Amino acid sequence: MGKKGIETLVGLFVLLGLAAFLFVALKAANLTSFGRGDSYPLVARFDNIGGLKVRAPVRSAGVTVGHINSITLDPKTYQGVVKLEVERAYQFPKDSSAKILTSGLLGDQYVGLEPGGDEKNLAAGDTVKQTQSAVVLENLIGQFLFSKAADAGGADAAGKDGGGKK
């Protein structure tokens, strides 16, 4: 094999490596449509969407069943309107619920669908009625600190008014 043949093989190897890198980068960024078949739209309304982003996964039992198509604000109810795209292979009962969940302690957020028990399934364009908004870590910390401060204030007041035995 001559010098030209080796250079051609090296060039092909480099191109194959770049294509593989591009594929992995697009999959990691959730920008590809690889493996996504026919889907149907659903709508879910949340009081607080937290850090949910467009193209975030929709999962049920840990399995990715779709993705977030768009997020808007309803000007009348001031709720976040999340439009989901769910693969047709997965049909969910009408009384299913949607929750905004987090991967790990500080990971990315996604929508989790929990199937209900209704015999009829959600159709294209239906709204998921039962939703649970995102848990915002800052709010939890604030509530915890506020409750601890209130407990400490109550303990100080009990000690000053002679609530103890003499």
Average pLDDT over residues 6-33: 83
In a domain, 147, yes or no: no
pLDDT of residue 165: 52
Say whether both 136 and 87 belong to one domain.
yes
pLDDT band at residue 46, thresholds of 50, 70 and 90? very high
Same domain assignment for residues 126 and 70 = yes
Q: Domain check: are 16 and 88 in the same one?
A: no
- Within this chain, do residues 23 and 42 fall inside the same structural domain, yes or no? no
- Residues 118, 44 within the same domain: yes
Sheet holding 39-46, edge to edge: 127-128, 39-46, 80-87, 63-73, 57-60, 109-114, 97-102, 130-132
Q: How many residues are present in the chain?
A: 166
In tens, the pLDDT along 119-163 reads 999 999 999 999 988 877 777 788 888 888 888 876 655 555 555
78-108: b (≥16 Cβ within 10 Å) or e = ebbbbebbbbeebebeebbbbbbbbeeeeee
| pTM for the whole structure | 0.66
Clarify whether residues 75 and 104 are in a common domain.
yes
Whether residue 158 is contained in a domain is answered as no
Q: Are 84 and 1 in contact (CB under 8 A)?
A: no
Q: Which domain holds residue 13?
A: 1-34
For residues 84 and 119, state if they share a domain. Answer: yes
Domain identity same for 72 and 90? yes
Q: Total structural domains in the chain?
A: 2
